[in-house]
């Protein structure tokens, strides 16, 4: 009985730490989106005639950068609320 409680606590603690690390991936996506927006604004300032093309490319780059943060969030939610490791104890 005591070993089961210890094992469950270890899995839950590890899952909480893993979820925290997964959410940190949002930092990278924030930096990527900020970089894309800054470069896009700079490019539009240099060539206002190509605004539509630049904006489309910038938004595509931001969408790709955002997927990292979203995947990290999904992994964190799975670890916290639908933990597949608890059923194996």
| High-pLDDT (> 90) share of the chain, % | 48
Encode pLDDT of 27-53 as tens digits: 988 898 899 899 999 999 999 999 999
In a domain, 65, yes or no: yes
Q: What is the pTM of this model?
A: 0.76
Per-residue pLDDT band at 1 (split at 50, 70, 90): low
Q: Which domain does 64 fall in, by range?
A: 2-82
Distances (CA, A) of 15 to 34, 47, 51: 30, 49, 45
For the chain, what is the domain count?
A: 1
| High-pLDDT (> 70) share of the chain, % | 97
Listed residue (22, 9, 15) closest to 68, CA to CA: 22
In a domain, 44, yes or no: yes
pLDDT, residue 65, reads 86
Q: Tell me the CATH number at 25.
A: 1.20.20.10
Q: What share of the chain is helix, strand, coil (3-state, %, to 5)?
A: 90, 0, 10
pLDDT, residue 89, reads 65
Contact 75/22 with Cβ under 8 angstroms?
A: yes
């Amino acid at each position: 009985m005591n070993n089961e409680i210890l094992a469950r606590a270890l899995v839950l603690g590890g899952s909480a730490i893993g979820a925290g690390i997964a959410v940190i991936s949002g930092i990278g996506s924030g930096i990527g989106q900020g970089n894309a927006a800054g470069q896009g604004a700079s490019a539009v300032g240099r060539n206002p005639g190509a605004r539509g093309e630049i904006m489309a490319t910038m938004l595509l780059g931001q969408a790709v950068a955002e997927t990292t943060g979203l995947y990290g969030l999904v992994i964190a939610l799975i670890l916290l609320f639908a933990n597949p490791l608890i059923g194996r104890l």
